[in-house]
Every structure is written in C-alpha cells, then in structure tokens.
Amino acid sequence: MARFRGRGMASVNYPIGMNLGGDPSQALIHSNPDGKFTVALSAIDLGQGMKQVTRQVAAETLGVPIEDVYVDTADSDTGPHDMGSFASRGTHRMGNAVIAAAREARGVLLEAAAEELEVNAADLVTDGKGNIHVKGAPSRSITVRATAQAAQFKQGKTIAGRGIFLIPLSSVDPETGEMNPNTAFAHACLVADVEVDDETGEVTVLGMNSAYELGRVINPKMVEQQLVGGAWMGISHALYETPEPYYPNPDHGPRDFNEYLMPGPGDIAPYSIAILERPAPDGPFGGKGPGEMCANPVLPAIANAVYNAVGVRVNDLPITPEKILRGIRANGGAKPQARRGGAL
C-alpha cells in the first residue's frame, strides 16, 4: 500500500454577464452639499464585494478620493433597477452603469467649478484628492467641497448623475444555435498536485498553481479573496460535495454540515496565482471580474491529477474514495502515469 503523487491541469474561459444580454443595470449618484457622494444601487453584495467595486469605479470616474464615496445597496425605493448579482455580471454591468452615472455627475461638478473659477469646464481636471484645477495651472484651483457648496447654495445646480448599461437581448437560432452571447470572456489555467492513497482511496490536494486573465483588476485584494475562496469551492466540488452520492438514486439527503461533507481547514492547499489583465473593450476600465469561474478549472485539474497519480479516470463527480478504490481494483492495482515537470 502506498501513496502516489500526480499532477493535472485544465484551462477554461468564462462568459461575463447574462448569456444573451437583455440584463440592464442602473445607478444613481448624488452629492451632499459638501461634495461627498452617495451611489444608490439595487445591486446585491453577497460578500463578493459589489459595494466596494462600484465604490472604486465611482471614485475613479468622479475623480474624487475613495473616502468621499459610499455605496448604498439595496433598497427598491431608492436604488434603481438592476437585474441582480448572478451570472458574473456585477462588476461588468453595474460597473458600467456606475461609470455612466459618475460621468454625468462629474460633468455638473466641473461646470460648477468652471463657473466659480471663470474658466472653460473643458480645461479643468481633478487630482483625485479632492481638488479641481486648470490643466497645467495648479494654482487656479477649487476644492470639490467648495464647488459642491457653490453649486448647491449659489448656482442652484444638482451634482447628480444617472446611468444604465444594457447589452440588448439576442435571439437564438433554433437549428444552428447562432446567437450573440456575452461580449467579454475571462480565462484561466490551473495545475493541481495531489496525492492518492491506494489503500483508503483518499485524495490530498498538495498544492495548486494558476494563471487567471480577468481584464482590468478593480481591487486586487478582492480578486485574491474571490480566487482563493473559489478554489476551495472547486476542491470541495471535485472531491466532497453532493446531496445525492449515488445519483440518480435520490437517497442519502444530508440535513446538516455533519452529514454534508466539505473540506475542513486541514484540507486547504497552498495556492499560488498569477493575474493577467487584458482589458475588455466594453468593461468598466476594461474589467471583467473573477465572478463564478474561480472554482471551474479546479474540478477537472484534480480529476486529471488523480488519473496521473493512480491511472483511474473518475468521470462522475464527486471523486469519492469509493470510486477511486473501485477503479484501482478494476485496473488490477494503481497505475501511475508519467510525471509532469517539476514536482513540489
């Protein structure tokens, strides 16, 4: 009885947003009298960071410090319509709606500043730190705060903006499947190293390496959070989870986390990620978003690594010890395959 090491890989792409389009997102932005902005959305933060992504996109577009922007989700009385947080659409669709709204609000902000400075609004720039000044002449400046106060109490202007982003709905050809699906795709490749015990059938994930291309990264910490969390889910999907372990037999429904298996802290594998950024032509600042795809390459990479380790192909998820042991027995013992490159 022995433990066998194996290595597998998988490469994938992922469509960003509802496949056929027709999924609008809207945003409203307005300023307090002292130049602090509120973004009102009905987008949902599931923990993935919707509020922070839209906050950074709004601050970038408005040209104001991040501390001067807060995002309010989600109240159907104040936040305009959004399709929802699913289909990896949040960053792309809502990011673009927020840009549209912020650009409109920025337009009013610069107009108000131009009136105070007695210059042309087209000659004004923001410094991202709370000031507006004439391009090339930093001494001719006014703060965002003073501008907002003047707009509100002197000029009678509302520093506000509204935005929507919509990719029109595509139809689908019944005979060929021709359609206009998503406009943006993210990409990934992942290598998994595993160890398989031919006595117990248990798989230990020793480590993973991946490369993800996600368009422009809006917040690297949140990308890391998504990719690491999603990889855990990928390990869980590959090796542990299902309420119906003998599907299509519907028996064995689990009732709680004692009966529904998931990897624990001891099963988490070291994970090293490289990020590539090829901006999406229609993404917010080129962003696509890591969204759903971060679990996907893990499943086949682990399945391929198990084959590489002991020569057993498990085509039915999850890859349980029982399936591995049955495969080893059918093959007359473990059949390790050729090693692939530098081991851990």
Partner 1 sequence: MMEFRKDLFSNERDDDLNVVGKGVQRQDAPGHVTGRSPFFDDHAFEGLLHLKVVRSPHPHARIRRIDISAAERAPGVKRILRGADVPVNRNTLLSLINFGKDDEPTLAVDKVRYIGEPIVAIIAESEAQALAARALVRLEYEPLPAVFDVEEALKPGAPVINDIYPGNYFEYHEKYDHQKLRFGDVERGFAMADHIVEDRYQMSPIEHAPTETNGSIAAPEQNDRFVVHSCAQGLFFSLGTAAKIVNLDSNRLHFIGGTVGGGFGGKVDSLTEPLSILGAMMTGRPVRYVLDREEEMLYGSPRGAERIYIKDGIARDGRILARQIRSYFDAGAYTRLSSYAAIKCTAHLPGPYTIPNVASDIYVAYTNRCPSTAMRGFGITAVDFALEVHMDKGAEACGLDPMEFRILNAYRDGDMKAHRRVAKNTALIECVQVAAEKARWPISDEARRQSSLTGGGGARAEIPATPIDENGRINRPETRGGRPTQTLPAGTMRIPLTKQPIMEGSTENRPKAPAVPQYEPYRPAAAAPPPPAPAYTPPPPSAPPPAPAPAAAPSASPAPASQHGAHRFSSVFGTRRR
- Report yes or no: 220 and 287 within 8 Å, Cβ to Cβ: no
* Binding of residue 144 to partner 1 (CB under 8 A): no
- Nearer Cβ to partner 1, position 127 or 195? 127
Site for partner 1 in 61-100 (CB under 8 A): 61-63, 65-66, 70-71, 73-77, 79, 81-87, 96-97, 99-100
What's the min distance (Å) between Cβ of 55 and partner 1?
Answer: 6
* Cα distance between residue 293 and residue 187, in whole Å: 9
- Report yes or no: 144 and 130 within 8 Å, Cβ to Cβ: yes
Cis peptide before 74 (omega within 30 of 0): yes
* Binding of residue 42 to partner 1 (CB under 8 A): yes
63 secondary structure, DSSP code? T
Task: Name the one range near partner 1 by CB under 8 A: 144-152, 194-202, 282-290, 325-333.
Answer: 282-290
* Binding of residue 123 to partner 1 (CB under 8 A): yes
Task: Name the one range near partner 1 by CB under 8 A: 11-19, 30-38, 194-202, 325-333.
Answer: 11-19
Collapsing DSSP to helix, strand or coil, 107 comes out as helix
* Binding of residue 171 to partner 1 (CB under 8 A): yes
Q: Which two tokens stand for residue 268?
A: 């988490």
Collapsing DSSP to helix, strand or coil, 59 comes out as helix
Q: Which of 64, 68, 65, 57 is nearest to 98 (CA)?
A: 57
Which value, in Å, is the radius of gyration of the alpha carbons in the chain? 26
Site for partner 1 in 20-39 (CB under 8 A): 20-22
- Nearer Cβ to partner 1, position 258 or 266? 258
- Nearer Cβ to partner 1, position 1 or 175? 175
String of b and e for 195-213 (b: at least 16 CB within 10 Å)?
Answer: bbbbeebebebbebbbbbb
What's the min distance (Å) between Cβ of 1 and partner 1?
Answer: 26
Task: Name the one range near partner 1 by CB under 8 A: 145-153, 181-189, 194-202, 324-332.
Answer: 181-189
Give me the residue label for tokens 């027709």: 22
Strand spans (E) along 179-308: 185-197, 203-213, 271-276
* Binding of residue 150 to partner 1 (CB under 8 A): no
* CB contact set of 190 (below 8 Å; sequence gap of 6+): 9, 10, 11, 208, 209, 210, 211, 231, 297, 298, 301
* Binding of residue 332 to partner 1 (CB under 8 A): no
- Nearer Cβ to partner 1, position 150 or 273? 273
- Nearer Cβ to partner 1, position 1 or 293? 293
* Binding of residue 180 to partner 1 (CB under 8 A): yes
Give me the residue label for tokens 């996907």: 296
Site for partner 1 in 151-170 (CB under 8 A): 161-170
- Pick from 4, 5, 6, 14 the residue near partner 1 by CB under 8 A: 14
Task: Name the one range near partner 1 by CB under 8 A: 29-37, 195-203, 280-288, 324-332.
Answer: 280-288
For 140-183, give the secondary structure using H, E and C.
EEEEHHHHHHHHHHHHCCCCEEEEEECCCCCCCCCCCCCCCCCC
- Nearer Cβ to partner 1, position 97 or 324? 97
- Nearer Cβ to partner 1, position 5 or 237? 237
What's the min distance (Å) between Cβ of 274 and partner 1?
Answer: 5
Site for partner 1 in 202-241 (CB under 8 A): 209-213, 216-224, 227, 230, 233, 237, 241
- Nearer Cβ to partner 1, position 201 or 287? 287
**Residue 252: φ, ψ to 5°:** 75, 25
* Binding of residue 57 to partner 1 (CB under 8 A): yes
Q: Which of 183, 300, 276, 282 is nearest to 223 (CA)?
A: 276
